[in-house]
Amino acid sequence: MPTRKPPVTSVWARKHAKREQPALSLDRIVAEAVRLLDEEGVEALSMRTLGARLGAGATSLYRHVTSKDELIELVVDEVYGEMEVPEAEDRDAWRSAMTECARSMRAMVLRHPWVASVLGQVGLAQLGPNLMRQSERMLAAFQTAGFPPGEADRAMNALIAYVVGMTTSEAAYLSMLARSGRTEQEWAAGLRATAEQAVRDHPRLQAEYAARQDEDPQRMRDENFAYGLERVLDGLQTRLSADVDGSA
């Protein structure tokens, strides 16, 4: 007889009583968990530590959240609620709407850099109310653009993958800077001699480094993100144009 596998667990798969506002509510737990993660990072998150910050024991938290995994699902959904997803009022507005959406997603991840490190371990987080609402709005924009159901989801996932991919390394870099106590300018200046030495025997890298070494680091990050975003949207626009021309 085959071994029965345990069901996939998720905070969104359990039935909850209507949220109330006692001294220790689920909303308060989630808000404090977000603050803890922002201040100390994902390594510091534990039910015991969170309970101490709330003036309660870990046992009290377990009445609302059964595990740390469920807590992570909740905090991820919470910060995704900060995203802004503009409405695409017509076919021509989808690109500007998704540009603003991508920028808002990037800003959210950079405000909460721990998000990038937990996205692959959040179970059924996509069932959270904020993520569902944001996905619905994004799909509406892609369908307004002309992507049919099914492909609209793939287009949305391509855009999200770009944003998450870019911001994962960016968030890690900014977290490292915060730990160092240095500004981006100070960090870049301190590495200049080492970088120039490293690229000496690599002419293409040397040319690229020389072309941008005096740029403001934050501006360069913004421009790098914008460049890649435009190329992703160019590709999606080409796909739409191919469908219109009947050549897809």
In this prediction, residue 187 carries a pLDDT of: 81
Among 80, 113, 130, give the residue marking a domain's end: 80
H helices of the chain, in order, are 26-40, 47-53, 58-62, 68-80, 94-111, 114-118, 129-145, 151-180, 184-198, 203-212, 217-245
Domain CATH for 139: 1.10.357.10
Question: How much of the chain, in percent, has pLDDT values that exceed 70?
Answer: 86
Same domain? For 184 and 232 the reply is yes
pTM: 0.82
> Rounded CA gap, 54 and 23, in Å?
10
**Quick one: tokens of 18?**
């209507």
> Rounded CA gap, 185 and 181, in Å?
12
Instruction: Summarize pLDDT for 189-228 with one digit per residue, the tens.
Output: 887 888 888 888 898 988 887 877 778 888 999 999 999 9
User: What are the phi and psi torsion angles at 150 (to 5°)?
Assistant: 100, -60
Among 28, 60, 80, give the residue marking a domain's end: 80
Q: Is residue 85 part of a domain?
A: no
**CB 92 within 8 Å of CB 75:** no
> Rounded CA gap, 142 and 163, in Å?
16
**Quick one: tokens of 153?**
């989801």
Range of the domain at 228: 91-245
Q: Is residue 86 part of a domain?
A: no
Task: Calculate Rg over the CA atoms of the chain.
Answer: 22
Same domain? For 189 and 127 the reply is yes
> Rounded CA gap, 88 and 29, in Å?
35
Same domain? For 161 and 192 the reply is yes
How confident is residue 7, by pLDDT bands cut at 50, 70 and 90? Answer: low
* Residue position matching structure tokens 């001699």: 193
Same domain? For 121 and 42 the reply is no
Same domain? For 164 and 45 the reply is no
Instruction: Summarize pLDDT for 150-200 with one digit per residue, the tens.
Output: 999 999 999 999 999 999 889 888 888 888 888 888 887 887 888 888 888
Instruction: Summarize pLDDT for 109-138 with one digit per residue, the tens.
Output: 999 989 888 876 665 667 789 999 999 999
Mean pLDDT of the chain: 86
Nearest Cα to Cα of residue 46 among 27, 72, 28 = 72
* Residue 67 clears pLDDT 70, i.e. is over it: yes
Same domain? For 122 and 75 the reply is no
Domain CATH for 15: 1.10.10.60
Q: How many domains does one find in the chain? A: 2
